[in-house]
Amino acid sequence: MKFADSPVLTPTFPPWRARVVLGLLAAAFGLLAGRAVYLQGWNNDFLRAKGESRYSRSLELPASRGRVLDRNGEALAVSTPVKSIWAIPEDATLSAKQFEALAQALEMPRGELRKRVADTARDFVYLKRQVPPEVADRIAAMKLPGVYQSREYRRYYPAGETAAHVVGFTDVDEVGQEGIELAFQDALAGRAGSRRVIKDRLGQIVEDVESVRPARDGSDVVLALDARVQSLAYRELKRAVEAHRAKGGGIVVLDVGTGEVLALANLPSYNPNNRARLTGEQVRNRAVTDQFEPGSTLKPFTVALALESGHVSPLTTIQTAPGSLTIGPATIRDAHPAGALTVEQVIQKSSNVGAAKIALALPAEHIWGMFDGIGLGAAPRLGFPGEAVGKVRPFKTWRPIEQATMSYGHGISVSLVQLARAYTVFARDGELVPLSLVKVDNPPAGKPLLSQKTAVAVRHMLELAVEPGGTAPRARIMGYRVAGKTGTAHKQEHGGYVPDKYHSSFVGFAPVSRPRLVVAVMIDEPGAGQYYGGQVAAPVFSQVMAGALRLLGVAPDAPMKPIEMPSGVLEVRDSI
Amino acid sequence: MARLNLVLLAVLVACALGLVTSQHQARKRWAELEREQARAQQLEVEFGQLQLEASTWATPARVEQVARERLRMHPPGLKRLQVTDTRTGAAQ
């Protein structure tokens, strides 16, 4: 009998059993194949990403914030890299010695540091931000567990308090908070880039995985400011504010040809590099955001309008005797009652009665049109945050007394920048120029407002005002012909005038033969006895204008003769 | 036939080794590039700091102070001033 036919081998199982096993095996294979197809086909991206995350890293490429430069390339705000020191409190188990060394390096109070390191509820805590790189390197060398560093930037302002109001500052995350830093935030801010790389076991980069998205550094902003003129303006303003024990002050220097703001300073100021005790009073950019009653500095515009419309000529006589003028219930007074004055003398002696009489002969609508034309009641659009608009009421609501007082700058309010800009009309043969904080390559076209003849006539009157017999002989400069107008006005508080608080101002330009600069000075509440614009503000104008003309290399247009101050009789005070 | 295969095998091995070397070279160069880029960035940082330092030294107020105090300079007096015309060079 053959082995195969042995009855022992005859299967005793039911025949379906083998089929079931075969079926199960086939199903298991099918499952495996299906899983394989799923992993390799549909779920591929997820797995690949998981794999990559084991060896590839995404690195951030830091972008630096652009610099703020003055017109000559001098840096006014620069970012330099610093480190921030942070910790994972749970991992930061420091020995007493390590803790002491860390506290010493960071120059932090022990309690404060202890509190931060011990805060195990959080997984991330800054120990100190903006640490200088040398200190950070020392800390890195200590190899403290759970203490890490990351790179950030800190903004430095080399010009310090001098240009603080123009440049402004950023917060700790380099986001602009004030001034140019805020106004040009978009341009200055960079955009961080990123790259994915493969790193080896030692953490060295082996190659790029994807294309690199490069960091875009913020672009530099070149201001119209001239750091030298700015420094001079700030210094002289500070000297005057201190000498007259004033509450504050502002100064604006404009380039007549281009409308560029060459200097803009305010007091009180602050050091943007150390803003530990900063008050709103210090941060306020007064020249731009504060409005005040300009006083007599507006007289030339009323006179210009009268000249332009042919109502008067420079030599028309106006009777100002007896030095006061009663309109309804109110009376306008002159500081020095005079008899008949020519229109020129009205400006030179700053006669309120004269200006009021000229204004009353003009239609209110035209006067309003003049104020509107020179940019009063509209933001100067410098790009600064919070520019003051000023206040010019619609002419339909003017009463005669208001029309009269507005002619000499009362019942109307302006910012110092608006006032400085308005004077470009006289400096530029009748054109108003748009202002610019950033450097201008192509001088913008001016907006014509007055004829050249009128502008020249008013220039002559303003030149008379700074000569002996005018209100501001202290504004004169050796070697240059100067023109300008003083202003002295009572401060307004709580809706009324304060009898013993004043705004003293002076606005002028030079050299008269070919005006190059407009300088406007305002001193807020001089408290040392003197308060007339010609005594308080005009000397600042003179110092700053003289220095700026020399710095800019403007040719003198007058003989180099020393300036003698007239004796008291010849110096006329403003009518307030 | 076998001979040709052997030659091709040798070529293949040579190519493979070449690939390994070139890959190694590439990685080395890459690491070098990375180092240089890091250095460039470091230099840029230093440049920024030096620029900051320069502009701090060049503050007009400081320049004036040094000119006055250390160099004993002062504005010229009237008698020592002469205005000239830049076009003709003649004194006025």
The string of pLDDT tens digits covering residues A180-195 is 999 999 999 888 888 8
**Structure-token pair, residue A124:** 């991330």
A87: part of which helix (H) or strand (E)? strand A75-87
Catalytic (active site) residue A53: no
**Structure-token pair, residue A53:** 């995350």
Q: Is A80 on the interface with B (CB under 8 A)?
A: yes
Q: Between vectors from CA A80 to CA A79 and to CA A85, what angle results, nearest 5°?
A: 120
Task: List A residues 454-483 in contact with B (Cβ-Cβ < 8 A).
Answer: 478-479
Whether residue A17 is predicted with pLDDT greater than 70 in this model: the reply is yes
Predicted confidence at residue B87, as pLDDT, reads 67
CB distance A523 to A244 below 8 Å: yes
Q: Between vectors from CA A235 to CA A233 and to CA A240, what angle results, nearest 5°?
A: 95
A231/B60 Cβ within 8 A: yes
User: Tell me: the pLDDT tens digits for A432-484?
Assistant: 999 999 998 888 888 899 999 999 999 999 999 998 888 888 899 988 999 99
Q: Is B51 on the interface with A (CB under 8 A)?
A: yes
Rounded distance between C-alpha atoms, residue A508 and residue A541, angstroms: 8
Q: Is B59 on the interface with A (CB under 8 A)?
A: yes
Determine phi and psi for B35, rounding to 5 degrees: -60, -45
Predicted confidence at residue B16, as pLDDT, reads 96
Measured between CA atoms, the residue of chain A closest to residue B77 is A562
Omega before residue A268 within 30° of 0, cis: yes
Using pLDDT thresholds of 50, 70 and 90, give the confidence band for residue B90. Answer: low
Of B45, B55, B60, Cβ closest to residue A75:
B55
Of B34, B49, B51, Cβ closest to residue A205:
B34
Q: Which residues of A touch B47 (CB under 8 A)?
A: none
CB distance A526 to A487 below 8 Å: no
CB distance A85 to A107 below 8 Å: no
Of B31, B51, B86, Cβ closest to residue A78:
B51
**3 state SS of A487:** strand
Residue A518: name the closest of A435, A450, A439 by CA: A435
Using pLDDT thresholds of 50, 70 and 90, give the confidence band for residue A561. Answer: confident
Using pLDDT thresholds of 50, 70 and 90, give the confidence band for residue A203. Answer: low
* Across A132-161, average pLDDT: 85
Catalytically annotated residue among A296, A350, A413, A504: A296
Rounded distance between C-alpha atoms, residue A491 and residue A481, angstroms: 32
Q: Count CB-CB contacts under 10 A for residue A192.
A: 14
Rounded distance between C-alpha atoms, residue A186 and residue A438, angstroms: 15
- Name the burial class of residue A281, with classes exposed (0-12), middle (13-18) and buried (19+) by CB atoms within 10 angstroms of its CB: exposed
How many Å lie between the alpha carbon of A186 and the closest alpha carbon of chain B? 21
Q: Which residues of A touch B51 (CB under 8 A)?
A: 75, 78
Using pLDDT thresholds of 50, 70 and 90, give the confidence band for residue B30. Answer: confident
Task: List A residues 16-45 in contact with B (Cβ-Cβ < 8 A).
Answer: none
Kindly give, in sequence order, each residue whose CB lies less than 8 Å from that of residue A404, ignoring residues fewer than 6 positions away. Answer: A325, A327, A332, A356, A359, A360
Omega before residue A322 within 30° of 0, cis: yes
Whether residue A569 is predicted with pLDDT greater than 60 in this model: the reply is no
Q: Is B23 on the interface with A (CB under 8 A)?
A: no
**Structure-token pair, residue A67:** 């610099």
Rounded distance between C-alpha atoms, residue A25 and residue A32, angstroms: 11
Whether residue A30 is predicted with pLDDT greater than 80 in this model: the reply is yes
Predicted confidence at residue A568, as pLDDT, reads 55
Predicted confidence at residue A426, as pLDDT, reads 93
Of A156, A158, A556, Cβ closest to residue B59:
A158
Using pLDDT thresholds of 50, 70 and 90, give the confidence band for residue B88. Answer: low
CB distance A327 to A401 below 8 Å: yes
Q: Is A204 on the interface with B (CB under 8 A)?
A: yes
Kindly give, in sequence order, each residue whose CB lies less than 8 Å from that of residue A437, ignoring residues fewer than 6 positions away. Answer: A166, A180, A183, A223, A224, A225, A260, A261, A382, A383, A384
Using pLDDT thresholds of 50, 70 and 90, give the confidence band for residue A27. Answer: very high
Strand partners, A79: A155
Structural Rg of chain B based on CA atoms: 35
Measured between CA atoms, the residue of chain B closest to residue A81 is B45
Using pLDDT thresholds of 50, 70 and 90, give the confidence band for residue A566. Answer: low
Of B27, B56, B83, Cβ closest to residue A556:
B83
Mutate to test the interface with B, among A225, A229, A231 (most CBs of B within 10 A): A231
Predicted confidence at residue B92, as pLDDT, reads 52
**Distance of alpha carbon A310 from the chain centroid:** 42
Scored b (16 or more CB within 10 A) or e, A18-54 reads eeeeeeeeeeeeeeeeeeeeeeeeeeeeeeeeeeeee
How many Å lie between the alpha carbon of A469 and the closest alpha carbon of chain B? 25
Rounded distance between C-alpha atoms, residue A13 and residue A18, angstroms: 9
For A13-27, A51-65, A289-303, which range has the lowest pLDDT when averaged over its residues? A51-65
How many Å lie between the alpha carbon of A207 and the closest alpha carbon of chain B? 7
* Across A33-44, average pLDDT: 88
Question: Tokens 């503000």 identify what position?
Answer: A537
pTM of the complete model: 0.81
Rounded distance between C-alpha atoms, residue A354 and residue B37, angstroms: 74
Rounded distance between C-alpha atoms, residue A533 and residue A342, angstroms: 22
Task: List A residues 214-243 in contact with B (Cβ-Cβ < 8 A).
Answer: 227-228, 231-232, 235
- Start-to-end CA span in chain A (Å): 145
Average pLDDT of chain A, as a whole number: 87
Strand partners, A170: A176
Mutate to test the interface with A, among B55, B74, B87 (most CBs of A within 10 A): B55
Q: Between vectors from CA A210 to CA A204 and to CA A214, what angle results, nearest 5°?
A: 85
Q: Which residues of B touch A207 (CB under 8 A)?
A: 27, 30
Amino acid identity at B8: L
Count Cα neighbours of A205 within 13 Å in the Cβ-side half-sphere: 18
A81/B58 Cβ within 8 A: no
CB distance A479 to A559 below 8 Å: yes
Strand partners, A331: A326
A333: part of which helix (H) or strand (E)? strand A330-333
The helix-helix angle for A352-360 and A400-407 (nearest 10°) equals 130
Of B27, B48, B83, Cβ closest to residue A78:
B48
Rounded distance between C-alpha atoms, residue A543 and residue A559, angstroms: 18
CB distance A79 to B48 below 8 Å: yes
Q: Is A155 on the interface with B (CB under 8 A)?
A: no
- What are the angstrom distances between the C-alpha of A4 and each of A8, A15, A189? 9, 18, 91
* Across A256-277, average pLDDT: 89
Rounded distance between C-alpha atoms, residue A48 and residue B61, angstroms: 62
Of B52, B60, B78, Cβ closest to residue A156:
B52
CB distance A367 to A315 below 8 Å: no
CB distance A358 to A346 below 8 Å: yes
Strand partners, A86: A126, A148
Q: Which residues of A touch B34 (CB under 8 A)?
A: 204-205
The helix-helix angle for A352-360 and A299-308 (nearest 10°) equals 40
Q: Count CB-CB contacts under 10 A for residue A383.
A: 15
ipTM above 0.90, yes or no: no
Mutate to test the interface with B, among A57, A59, A78 (most CBs of B within 10 A): A78
* Across A263-273, average pLDDT: 91
* Across A530-559, average pLDDT: 89
A206/B30 Cβ within 8 A: yes
Sign (positive or negative) of CA dihedral B37, B38, B43, B48 = positive
H helices then E strands: how many in chain B? Answer: 2, 0
CB distance A337 to A572 below 8 Å: no
